[in-house]
Structure 1
Amino acid sequence: MEADDAEVVEISGDMIRLGQFLKFTNIAESGAAAGAMIQGGDVLVDGELETRRGRQLSRGMLVEVRLPGGTVAARVG
């Protein structure tokens, strides 16, 4: 998936934690699932591997998650 094709997901505040964002976008079914994805090395933030569930995301950041069916991308809006 190209970064330009990523869905923009609007958040209510200025920042959101990575684990919360994965749940909010329905990429992860639960906090435990989000944590497993992050710890499993399946999550990139702005093209860099991210292993911290509490990583703060701000508007414009791109989150990519490698799933069995392919990569899903969402941009913080």
Structure 2
Amino acid sequence: MSNILFELRGEFIPLDSLLKATGLAESGGRARVVISEGQVEVDGKTELRKTAKIREGQVVSYQGTQVRVLAGT
């Protein structure tokens, strides 16, 4: 499983935007589809809310990749 470290620029990032920003989804539309299909996990649980607020310390998993969300500087 590969890992990506993602640094927040604010308090949170919507889940669909995170997938697009990290390159795990080629577009926001594709990100929303894979989320609605139940392919994305947040902290080990399936997340179906496309705009779920992802905050510092959370881990998002999709297709064998984990994104660890870090606080911005």
What is the TM-score normalised by the length of structure 2? 0.88
Segments of 5+ residues of structure 1 without an aligned counterpart are none
Deviation for aligned residue 1:56 = 0.4
Q: Which structure has the higher relative contact order (CA within 8 Å, separation 6+)? A: 2
Alignment of 1:22-61 (within 5 A): 22-61=19-58
SS at match of 1:76: strand
**Corresponding pairs, count:** 70
What value does the CA root-mean-square deviation take over the aligned residues? 1.1
Note the residue ranges of structure 2 that are not aligned, 5 or more in a row.
Answer: none
> What's the offset of the Cα at 1:14?
1.4
2:11 match: 14
TM-score (norm: length of structure 1): 0.84
Runs of 4 or more above 3 Å deviation: none
Question: Over residues 5-64 of structure 1, what are the superposed CA-to-partner deviations in whole Å (9 max), with x where a residue is unaligned?
Answer: 632111211111000100111101101110111011110000000001010010110000
